[in-house]
Amino acid sequence: MLSSSLVRVLTLVGTLLAFLLPATSADASSPLRTHASARGKFIGAALATSPLSNETSYRNIAATEFSQVTAENAMKWDATEPSQGQFNFSGADAIVNFATQNNQQVHGHTLVWHNQTPGWVQGLSATAMRSAMQNHISQVVGRYASNATVVSWDVVNEVFDDNGNLRTSFWYNTLGQSYIADAFRAARAADSNARLCINDYNVEGINAKSTAMYNLVSSLRQQGVPVDCVGFQGHLAIQYGFPNDLQQNLQRFADLGVQVRITELDVRMQMPRDASKDATQATYYRNVVNACLNVTACAGVTIWGFTDKYSWVPDTFQGQGAALIYDENYQPKSSYNAVHDALAGGTTTDTTPPTTPGTPVAGNVTSNSAGLTWTASTDSGGSGLAGYNVYREQGATDPLGQSTTNSITLTGLSPETQYQVYVRARDGAGNLSANSPLVTFTTTAGQGGGGCTAAGTVQTQWNNGYVVQPVTVTNTGTSSMSGWTVTFTLPAGHTLTGSWNASVSVSGQTVTARNAGHNGTLAPNTGTTFGFQASRPNGNTQTPSGYTCA
């Protein structure tokens, strides 16, 4: 029996310890993988071969924090079979050996993709291409079939275009849709145990593309094609918003009987970094991890890299970066803590809204636009200030506009109209502040007649091409339009490879896009969208410019 004075001393020590150590301290020294395993999930990172062999910090973090790894490039076709029948597994083996040493599982990425596939494959006839594909899969998967470290494969990658149609890649154009089922069958033949995945981007939320993926997976499985896993890449950006139906989407795939996983998570931001962007980013990371934790069939989350020192983002999206959970000096960021705390079962949720913004001041009021500025809010709830919503009517759910700073130019307003608007601040967890006081302004008289604007957003790009979607076309005039013509300039050497929702012609580098049959009529202050895809020389990072509308 303990004497009562000893009990008192022990209690005191316990109280002191509880006081001195922050609540998360029990977990502070445990790496991500320890917590992930305790939850029955993996936490992974994509690894690049060169820092893995050259940098101790890189190697140490990769080894200690993650239970799963994916080769960022080393298992792709251009690395493993640069010329027909000449296989090179040096990079792939380096990653597999590293993973074996560190008791990690490897997800093989990727067997059949339209990027990073050598020219010799792309030029083959249908019969030759099918057998080259089967041979590639058989050699690459076969090499690791009896290696317990390599447990899963992205058999096909990015087979959909951005509208959810099957991508008209050289695979599809030469072999038709059957290449997908054939690839899975070849992978199963090469390894009867590996988990075989289909992987894509922009499928995190429920949308046309993810629904097309859902239908394809469902139909392949009904035909007995061995698809047993779906990968959701998860290349997110704080400026585009979080796919709030991620968990629901993962669950609907899980209900098909497949395993699901987040395969390439990163959350980019417009540079430079600041505390508020970091906080929003951390919320995105936490939300993704929580979505996976909440879906039993979700195997885990792979981050596409781990240090901002090595990330594909700045090379692809000009002015954006800082997408990962360690900075370029290998220091953990808020997003690391978010992943850590979510895996550790942290339930700290920010429910404190930001402070109320100041009264907006209106300036530069025209017939269809107005500038507003207000005193900024602050946020103390932990998730950080994310931006502001500007509303017209009390209780409106759709904002007139959104801004990440304490000013905005409202566009698309009606001429000679009185507007009473107010601002609400929002934080990274989605909490909205109280309404600011109202500001009232009246737009000026319009000139009457026409006027339209066009602007294009690069949705995704890769080494030698990109998709611009949407190009938004807006009728900024005061009368209805019955047709529109948008022009823009392709940089030298770029070639249009496809378009949708517009009728497009090219002369030199000037592209003229006219409305399609269904989207020519635009009432004042309404708009429509179209999109296009183009190829560009390897290594070129330019994108089109000079969008005009008439």
Query: Which residue in the block uniquely carries the two structure tokens 């506009």?
Result: 401
Question: What strands lie across the sheet with 361-363, from one edge to the other?
Answer: 361-363, 370-373, 407-410
Instruction: Output 264 or 341, the one with its CB closest to ligand G2I.
Output: 264
Q: According to the binding rule CB under 6 A, does residue 312 interact with ligand G2I? A: yes
For 47, phi then psi, to 5°, come to -120, 140
DSSP helix/strand/coil, 297 = coil
Residues near ligand G2I (CB under 6 A), total: 11
Sequence-distant (≥ 6) Cβ neighbours of residue 395 within 8 angstroms: none
Pairing of strands 385-391, 320-321: unpaired
Taking the complex as a whole, the smallest distance from the CB of residue 361 to ligand G2I amounts, in Å, to 43
Cis? peptide before 110, omega within 30° of 0: yes
Ordered DSSP codes for 164-189 = SSBP--HHHHHH-THHHHHHHHHHHH
Q: How far is the CB of 102 from ligand G2I (least distance, A)?
A: 21
Between residue 138 and residue 177, which ones bind ligand G2I under the rule CB under 6 A?
157
49: left (phi over 0), alpha (psi -120 to 50) or beta: alpha
Which residues lie closer than 8 Å to 475 by C-beta, 6 or more apart?
450, 451, 452, 481, 484, 522, 523, 524, 525, 526, 527
**Minimum CB–partner distance for residue 264 and ligand G2I (Å):** 5
Figure out which of the listed residues 33, 52, 71, 72 binds ligand G2I, where binding follows CB under 6 A. 72
Compare residues 201 and 391 and give the one whose CB is closer to ligand G2I.
201
Identify residues 395-414 at the interface with ligand G2I (CB under 6 A).
Answer: none
Query: Which of 73, 283, 377, 501 is in the footprint of ligand G2I by CB under 6 A?
Result: 73
Identify which of 46, 167, 40 has the alpha carbon closest to the alpha carbon of residue 108.
46
3-class SS of residue 299: strand
Query: How far apart are CB 234 and ligand G2I at their closest, in Å?
Result: 10
CB contact set of 89 (below 8 Å; sequence gap of 6+): 80, 143
The pair phi, psi for residue 500, each rounded to 5°, is: -145, 150
Q: Looking at beta carbons only, is 234 or 415 nearer to ligand G2I?
A: 234
Q: Which of 116, 366, 404, 521 binds ligand G2I (CB under 6 A)?
A: 116
Residues of this chain, 262-301, that bind ligand G2I according to CB under 6 A: 264
- Rounded least distance, CB 91 to ligand G2I, Å: 10
Instruction: Tell me: does residue 352 bind ligand G2I (CB under 6 A).
Output: no
The interface with ligand G2I within residues 227-266 (CB under 6 A) comprises 233, 264
Closest approach of Cβ 113 to ligand G2I, in Å?
Answer: 7
Give residues 425-484 in contact with ligand G2I (rule: CB under 6 A): 462-463
Report the distance separating Cα 295 and Cα 249, nearest Å.
Answer: 10
Of the candidates 260, 251, 312, 262, the one whose C-alpha atom is nearest the C-alpha of residue 284 is 262
User: Residue 348, Cβ neighbours under 10 Å: how many?
Assistant: 13
Q: Does 122 bind ligand G2I (CB under 6 A)?
A: no
Contact residue for ligand G2I among 34, 102, 115, 375 (CB under 6 A): 115
The CB-of-50 to ligand G2I minimum distance in angstroms stands at 8
CB 306 → ligand G2I: shortest distance, Å?
13
Active site residues: 158, 264
Q: Is 532 exposed, middle or buried (0-12, 13-18, 19+ CB in 10 A)?
A: buried
CB-neighbour burial class of residue 301 (10 A; exposed 0-12, middle 13-18, buried 19+): buried
Q: Which is nearer to ligand G2I, 330 or 462 (CB)?
A: 462
Give every CB contact of residue 233 below 8 A, 6+ residues apart in sequence.
Answer: 199, 200, 201, 203, 204, 262, 263, 264, 265, 304
Contact residues for ligand G2I, defined by CB under 6 A: 72-73, 115-116, 157, 201, 233, 264, 312, 462-463
